Amino acid sequence: MASQDMPLIIKQIFIFFIPSVLTVEGGPIFILLALMFHIFRNKKIGTYLTLVLVSLFIFISSPQNDQWMMVFSLLPIYLYNGEEGRKEKWLFYIFYPLHIIVLYLLSTLIFL
């Protein structure tokens, strides 16, 4: 490895281990969404409105981006009563990998 490659490797390691606004999944808009959810954590209307406005912003700025569909998570957020649900740990250990496999198989069959 050449010595001139070393600064690049150090930068890559830094970017990998140190989170930043530019490298966060979803981009800066999701940092704003998380911050607004925290600010409105005790105000349900503020939480709902924040989610709708961010979804609308994403749809208007980039209609081909499917992330705007997060507005449909409003229903489970609305129905959440603040209490812990039943312990169905093994259901999710089985369901999650199984449904990913089924979706993968469906996508390969559809796009043959």
What residue ranges do the domains of the chain occupy?
3-85
Q: Decide if 52 contacts 68 (C-beta within 8 A).
A: no
What was the pLDDT predicted at 3?
A: 55
d(CA 63, CA 20): 26
User: Which residue has tokens 């957020």?
Assistant: 77
Higher pLDDT: 20 or 52? It is 52
The predicted pLDDT at position 48 comes to 95
94 or 27, higher pLDDT: 94
d(CA 47, CA 36): 7
pLDDT over threshold 70, residue 68: yes
How many Cβ atoms sit within 10 Å of the Cβ of residue 4? 7
What is the C-alpha to C-alpha distance for residues 47 and 70, in angstroms, rounded to an integer? Answer: 13
More confident residue, 45 or 86: 45
